[in-house]
Amino acid sequence: MLDVAELGRLIDRLAPVLELYARQWCDSPEDVVQEAFVKLSSQRRAPDSADAWLFRTVRNGAINARVARLRRKRHEARAAENAPWFSGPGTHDSDTHSVIDPKRAQDVLEELPLEQREVIVARIWGELTFDQIAELAGISTTSAHRAYHAGLTLLRERLRVSCDTNKTRPTPS
């Protein structure tokens, strides 16, 4: 097990280099490096070469973070493809489902403030109640409801469509 002083020296010497190394694979290198140092500090026996161990751990963590991010993006893109809660002139096909560009809808959703985006995703795709969302986000039910409607209003404005707020979950086309 490494002593605190040695761990501190490793962090001072290698953290910036490891962040640069991790940045090749992921967009959250600081988190990956921090997790690697936490794992190192919890090892019962110090590795023969802490430097090599850290580089391997950071590499694996960064690749895993990238894979998770890509998986999440694919999931979000699939979910965005089925976003028929948008309605308005020129946005319907013959089945009266929305014809909103899913990528544009996803981009606009990502532009929303985190609080609004979190509530919208939890409500629409997660099918959570406002009480459940309030507990999850650590806010009042009224605040969750307000964030939901404010987010939908921003989505509607930015996508230039009306929004049917009576639907709680998009239905597949």
Fold annotation for 82-163: Arc Repressor Mutant, subunit A (1.10.10)
pLDDT digits (tens, 9 = 90+) for 24-74: 999 999 999 999 999 999 999 989 999 999 999 999 999 999 999 999 888
pLDDT in tens, 116-140: 999 998 998 888 999 999 999 999 9
3-state secondary structure of 130: helix
Structural domain spans, the chain: 4-74, 82-163
pTM tops 0.85, yes or no: no
Transcribe 2-71 into DSSP letters: --HHHHHHHHHHHHHHHHHHHTTT-S-HHHHHHHHHHHHHT-SS--S-HHHHHHHHHHHHHHHHHHHHHH
